[in-house]
Chains A and B, each alone.
Chain A
Amino acid sequence: MSGELQPFADLEGAGHRSFRVEGGSTCIVGSRSAGSGVTCYPARTVCPETGARDMQPAEFGPHAVLYSFATVHVSVTRDVPYTIGYIDFPSGLRTLAHVRRQGDDLACDMPVVLKSDATSWWVEPERSRT
């Protein structure tokens, strides 16, 4: 049987936790279609525009722009409050990110930078570029 008929193990692996640190800078590791150029994060096997199995690893970051954000005060599964936001990369990719804020320091269209520790990544305002 063709390997292409095997289901995707898309609940395993790093998924939305996939990132790489080099020279002190954090980049997230997603994918880009060789044919259409569509970019994705988390990484995918199939291009969401064309259906082609032509996705290749691609890195994004460390700089992005905060499109919008929300601090969430209600959850039955997570500690609150927490802040999430959509971040836009120059390549045209948008993804949802954890946002670390200090007080009322966030604004739409604010430059943000990717940060990470041993297990996770997030964004925070990029002070030097604001």
Chain B
Amino acid sequence: MTDRGVIVGAGMIPMGRHRSSSYPGLAVPAVLAALKSAGLEPGDVQSVTCGHAFGGMLTGQRIVKDVGIGGVPVMNVDNACSGGASALHLASREVEEGRADVVLAIGVDKLTQFGGGTLPLVEEDPEVRVGMVMPALYAMRAERFLFERAETPDLLARVSVKARRHGAANPFAQYQKEVTAEDVLNSRPIAGPLTLLQCCPTGDGAAAVVVVSEARRRAMGASGAAIRASVLHSGKATTGFRDMLTPEITVHSAAEAFAAAGMAPSDMDVVELHDAFSIAELVYYEALGLCGPGEAARLLRDGVTGYGGSVVVNPSGGLLAKGHPVGASGVAQAVEVYWHLTGQAGARQVGGARRALTHVTGGGISGMDHGACTVHVLEAVS
């Protein structure tokens, strides 16, 4: 079996509004926690990858220099919201291609630097110049979903209610208070059918994982989460029609990941997917293959994706409750599933979790579903 690396240590800080923290201030505690949980020292790290969207130049170096890591490759990657997951992808490749057997992957971002509001997109993009913002993109998906499926906004609210219920058990979540469907629907409008509680919050955060080779893991005698697939795709642009309910970038990434892992969607016990807005979870149920086309609403209503269901989706609370400091999210997802696969998830532990998937997309670019999509499939090893 191809050795794509094993996560043997993970750490993150509580997501929230940490205005008084710098990028290193956010990330160093997560890095130290990850190294400690792996039982490794900074000097053991042979390569570093760092995902972020708004950290500026040399973000990774600014972080690791403060913990005594230096003289090793540090790769910084921006893939918008998929930056952290892209850093994990690069870490996996470092191991798979034999360049290192101890790699530190970091995800970090600080959105409070913008003072609130929607995520700043690239102003030179033609659609951004017309007024595109991320809530509008997802709101158009939601409008189309409700139209084609003859559904009502109540269904969208159910996603947020589930996310908040899960987040209430997660001490790392930005929001740890449950809400009702009425709370969701009565919160202030943001875009189209999406209200405030259907949108991920503005926040700051950092997460880190230690990825080692299987040989190194065996030598350490550690349990961990083996990376069975690590897939990174860019979107395929078109100036023509696109089915907004079938995002090709996620469909293709997931199919490729399951093929590489030799697993099926039905094998997953835990999924952390990119629920930046309520509608996204419904669309991605189908795109990831957790259900067939047209079955997303049933999956949610039947409780299949909550605790007690066959696959727990976003046990962390997802981006809606845990928070979404964009470049941090992909690594934070990996931290969450590592905890579940190694029995360290505390009150929100998914019992008997053996296999998990993480999924994060990146960015709004005209003509594309998204600019990036990263899917990882992980399996418990000991």
Partners in one complex: yes
Tell me the chain A residues, 33-60 only, with Cβ under 8 Å from chain B.
38-42, 48
Whose C-beta in chain A lies nearest to the C-beta of B366? A96
Q: Which residues of B contact A108 (CB under 8 A)?
A: 143-144, 147-148
B99 part of interface (Cβ distance < 8 Å): no
Q: Which residues of B contact A71 (CB under 8 A)?
A: 189, 191-192
Whether the Cβ atoms of A85 and B140 lie closer than 8 Å is yes
Q: Which residues of A contact B242 (CB under 8 A)?
A: 94
Whether the Cβ atoms of A69 and B143 lie closer than 8 Å is yes
A21 part of interface (Cβ distance < 8 Å): no
B131 part of interface (Cβ distance < 8 Å): yes
Q: When each residue 114-128 of chain B gets 1 if its CB lies under 8 Å from chain A and 0 otherwise, what string results?
A: 010110000010110
Say how far A70's CB is from chain B's closest CB, in angstroms. 4
Q: Which residues of B contact A88 (CB under 8 A)?
A: 241
Contacts A75-B118, A78-B131 known; A70 to B191 CB distance under 8 Å?
Answer: yes
Say how far B139's CB is from chain A's closest CB, in angstroms. 4
For chain A, the count of residues having a C-beta within 8 Å of the partner chain is 35
Chain B: number of interface residues, binned into ranges? 20 to 34
B132 part of interface (Cβ distance < 8 Å): yes
Tell me the chain A residues, 67-125 only, with Cβ under 8 Å from chain B.
67-76, 78, 82, 84-86, 88, 92-98, 107-109
B291 part of interface (Cβ distance < 8 Å): no
Tell me the chain B residues, 322-351 only, with Cβ under 8 Å from chain A.
none
A92 to B191, CA, bound (A): 27
Contacts A11-B124, A82-B131, A84-B131 known; A70 to B140 CB distance under 8 Å?
Answer: yes
B75 part of interface (Cβ distance < 8 Å): no
Whether the Cβ atoms of A96 and B191 lie closer than 8 Å is no
B141 part of interface (Cβ distance < 8 Å): yes
Contacts A16-B129, A74-B118, A96-B127 known; A68 to B189 CB distance under 8 Å?
Answer: no
Q: List 24 A-B contacts (CB under 8 A).
A: A16-B130, A48-B237, A67-B140, A67-B241, A68-B141, A68-B147, A69-B143, A70-B135, A72-B190, A73-B190, A73-B191, A74-B118, A74-B133, A74-B190, A75-B118, A76-B118, A84-B132, A84-B136, A92-B240, A92-B241, A93-B240, A94-B239, A94-B241, A96-B127
